[in-house]
Structure 1
Amino acid sequence: MKAILVEDEFKQLYIGDTEQPTISASDLLVKVKATALNRADLMQKQGNYPPPKGASPILGLEMSGVIEETGENVQGWRKGDRVFGLLPGGGYAEYVTIPADMAMPIPDSLSFEEAAAIPEVFLTAYLNMFQLGGLGKNQSVLIHAGASGVGTAAIQLAREAGARSIVTAGTDEKRDFCLSLGAETAIDYKAGPFESKVKEATHGTGVNLILDFIGAPYWEQNIRSLGVDGRLVLIGVMGGAKVSDVDLSQLLFKRIQVIGTALRSRTVEQKIDLTRRFSEFALPLFNQGRLQPVIDSVWSWKEVNEAHQYMEQNKNAGKIVLQVQ
């Protein structure tokens, strides 16, 4: 089969030949129609984020496509069904295998490109806001990088759960977009400290939950922005990983929980459970049009290097999708 491979010396991507995956008794073989970019792909390309043991070394953490073959123990799926789902790797290819219990049916109203934009960001947002972050109705969440793929998914999921969201974003266009998705407050993080704006938006109480991709530069402001019994879920450390002179007393005084998270390294069983919970909550909302994948742009997989450069320059608001042709 054809797949996007990494040229070792200069870390450029190219379409080459590789062995087609084989399925186990509980798997589906899917002919991929579309996949989507994630920052983990950029890191893996550079050799900084190896795939989990046993996973495909090919880039790509999500896909949409058509079932080509079902394992002998698979029930409820048949050849020709449209499916989408989360992957540990392998999405940048013509064919991929996925455990049948991790696949989800594509809502009739969505295209393959739209479906490919859902799994990684919506499952990440669902996991970190609800299962780990415990966000409930009438609670508040601060979402950093609000116009990112996970950010736009989190805004919508919070809205549908009856929670209030505050976001940070760096341009007027991105902030306006976040507000259009349902965020109640959008803060320009380039204009100065965000904590005062968070306190203003919450009438001085602070938020119940923070989703943070930035890490060290935001640590002190995050802690001050949380209310009593607040939770800080650390999804990434794009700004740095090391914090000095940490005042641990603030964690005790406000009973703050700090939660580190990673989706890719979770077990298949954990991902199946997450997929089931997410499907029960979200698929009806996608069918009703209340949830929508947010797509920045769609590229041919022949343009994968240009698409990666576009993400590296932080130009996207929403998902960057690759059509696998």
Structure 2
Amino acid sequence: MAAPSENMSALLLDAPNRTATIQTIPVPIPGPGELLIRVHAIALNPVDALYTFKPLGSSGRTVGSDFAGTVVSAAPYHDEKSPIPSFSPGDRVSGFLQGACSINDRPGAFADYLVCPADLVWRIPDSMSFEEASAISLCGLTAAQALFQRLGFVAPWDTTFKPATPAREFYALIYGASTSVGLYAAQLLHLSAKHSNTTVHLLGTASPARFDLLRAKPYSYEHLVSYRSPDWPAQIRALHPRNRGVDIALDCISQASTVGQVSSTLRDGGKLAVLRSRAAGAWDASLVPAHIDPLYDAVWRGLGERVQYHSMVLEANAEMRQFSRAFYRWLSSGDGSKLQANPVRRMPGGLGKVVGDGFMLVGEGDAVKQAEGRREEWMKPISGEKLVYSLV
């Protein structure tokens, strides 16, 4: 399977005008250990819109993170000490790139073709569409990093642990249960519990309109409360039989007062993971008790690369790269039923509509206000689903 020409369409950052436009650029050439992939579908994340409308770097960079497609070719790679998965032309794969989401000049995913390290993609099962698969990689890995690397749960693929006797019991809270990360975190918690002989009482906050979705499999929440209730933290604490609070919490919103509110639901010694850095200033650190340390790390470090934001530098981390490889190997193994894809909204128009439609819905501030004036069915507010575009 070969690329039909030397050129392709890609959505490139236009930094001075704070937008992105479709341009024609050369089809990339894979280096050692990389795959050339024909992109069939892309999924949108808020961070893609954020750093298009508030660019960190220079123009001409391909934007976007999540993708799914077919392998066109693989560059030769020989290293017995660090083997990588073997892929053949036509294999269906999914993964994510960093795009224009840092100062570092790295390519993104919103293009007809891309190159990606072969150890950082996973095989799409026959039962899953490209659109569904495109919605898993970044948010699924984000949830896995938070739960297994920071909060200490046992990863479902970990064969080195010894099950606890008697079985352990946890009360876990996911704030923002219907977000993309929250939906995968719920699934991963249940899979971890089954794998490690642990009982997890899963509690969540969400809009009541999403309660039926969240109570059903594979999310299977035990209790849900509305995030709009002014006393929701007290309601969560009261769900523990001795009113002790939860053992662990994951704040999938991590904005303004949410981290402080979520921290108030923790028992003494409980642990909290957040999805935004304290240094970024997205949440009010003054509301978090001094004895609680919200645990953060950037999903991008799972790519094994040095990441630079505005004034923050995260050095390349080999352990996090290995974790990503293990997660994607696990997704690729067995019958492909490891994670159920989030509900997806198939957006019309391909690359040409990503900025004008999709980024309006996943963006912030003025972008959201513009989207509110739209009347097309596909422009309704997002809740409990992922926006995806087909490129073929």
TM, length-normalised to structure 2: 0.73
Deviation of 1:99 (Å):
0.8
Q: Distance in 2 between matches of 1:88 and 1:227?
A: 36
| Equivalence for 1:324 | 391
> Is 1:165 aligned to 2:207, yes or no?
no
Distance (Å, rounded) in 2 between the aligned partners of 1:12 and 1:207: 42
Distance 1:265 1:50 in 2: 18
Q: Which has the larger radius of gyration?
A: 2
Kindly provide the amino acid, as one letter, of the partner of residue 195 in structure 1.
P
Pick one of 87, 93, 110 that aligns with 1:77. Answer: 87
- Which one of 234, 238, 261 corresponds to residue 297 of structure 2? 261
1:188–1:194 contact (8 Å) kept in structure 2: yes
User: How many residue pairs get matched?
Assistant: 313
Q: 1:296 aligned to 2:335?
A: no
Q: CA RMSD in A?
A: 2.6
* Cα drift, residue 79 of structure 1: 1.6
1:279 is matched with which residue? 328
User: Could you report, residue by residue, the CA deviation over 1:111-150 in whole angstroms, capped at 9, with x for unpaired residues?
Assistant: 1111111101111101101121113563232112111111
Change in 2 beyond 3 A, CA 1:260/1:69: same
- Which letter maps to 2:382? K
8 A contact 1:40–1:49 mirrored in 2:
no
- Which of 144, 147, 150 aligns to 2:181? It is 150
Residue 214 (structure 1) aligned with residue 281 (structure 2) = no
Aligned partner (choices 118, 139, 146) of residue 100 of structure 1 = 118
Q: Work out the percentage of aligned pairs sharing the same amino acid.
A: 25
Distance 1:21 1:116, change over 3 A: same
What letter corresponds to residue 325 of structure 2 in structure 1?
A: R
Aligned position for 2:215: 179
Closer/same/farther in 2, CA of residues 50 and 260 from structure 1, 3 Å limit:
farther
How far is 1:262 from its partner? 1.0
Letter in 2 for 1:165: L
1:302-322: per-residue Cα shift (whole Å, max 9, x none)? Answer: 321212212234523121112
SS of 1:294's partner is coil
User: More displaced, 39-48 or 238-247?
Assistant: 238-247
- Tell me: CA distance 1:227–1:148, structure 2 relative to 1, closer, same or farther (3 Å): same
Matched-pair contact (CA < 8 Å) for 2:124–2:336:
no
Unaligned stretches of 5+ residues in structure 1: none
Is the 2:36–2:73 contact (alpha carbons within 8 Å) kept by the matching residues of 1? yes
Give 2:22's aligned residue.
Answer: 15
Change beyond 3 A, Cα 1:175–1:10? farther
SS at match of 2:285: coil
**Pairing of 1:21-40 with structure 2 (within 5 A):** 21-40=28-47
Whether the 8 Å CA contact 1:214–1:239 is kept in 2: the answer is no
